[in-house]
Amino acid sequence: MNEKTIATNRKARHDYFIYDTYEAGLVLSGSEIKSVRAGHVSIKEAYIRIENHEAWLVDAYIAPYDQASHFNHEPRRKRKLLLHRKEINKLWDKVRQKSMTIVPLRLYLKYGRAKLEIAVAKGKKQYDKRQTLAKRDAQREIERQFSRRRD
């Protein structure tokens, strides 16, 4: 498909149990989209907040675009997400539940438009993270054994 991944939030899958994912558009200014296309973006510390029936991306870093001079944007400003009303209502209902949050997973360009993959997630405890790492190590060891037998 016509997608180019710009930034991923690898830590999200480590720190959270991911439940539902959604695709959201981003409202960006001209200097922001140029900076996004150049790949100067970080969504590591970002999160999604719902206010007044609107979804907002908070704390995402989009670096200032050098050629924009005094028409540049604020790097950490809130950015509006484009979602259908029903999706926003579903997200709001899930967030009201205990310890659920909305996290960005990846930022990508789809047909020239900036899109954000977001997910409803629940925070993992420390022992859950250790369990996940142990399962991953065991799976790697099994795959290693199978690859040795084929050789």
CATH number at residue 12: 2.40.280.10
Q: What share of the chain is helix, strand, coil (3-state, %, to 5)?
A: 40, 40, 25
What is the per-residue pLDDT for 69?
72
- Dihedrals phi, psi of 62, to nearest 5 degrees: -120, 115
> Which residue has better confidence, 31 or 57?
57
- E strands, 39-97, are 41-42, 47-51, 54-58, 61-62, 79-82
41 forms bridges with which residues in the sheet?
62
Query: Within a domain: residue 76?
Result: yes
In the chain, the number of structural domains is: 1
Helix (H/G/I), strand (E/B), else coil: 54: strand
With cut-offs at 50, 70 and 90, classify the pLDDT of residue 105. very high
Query: Within a domain: residue 132?
Result: no
Residue 149 has pLDDT above 90, yes or no: no
DSSP 118: E
Query: Within a domain: residue 135?
Result: no
Query: Within a domain: residue 12?
Result: yes
Query: Within a domain: residue 146?
Result: no
Query: Within a domain: residue 149?
Result: no
Range with lowest mean pLDDT among 28-32, 70-74, 75-79, 129-133: 70-74
Query: Within a domain: residue 24?
Result: yes
Query: Within a domain: residue 113?
Result: yes
Q: Which domain holds residue 87?
A: 3-124
Record the tokens describing residue 19, joined without a space.
Answer: 């439940």
- Dihedrals phi, psi of 9, to nearest 5 degrees: -110, 85
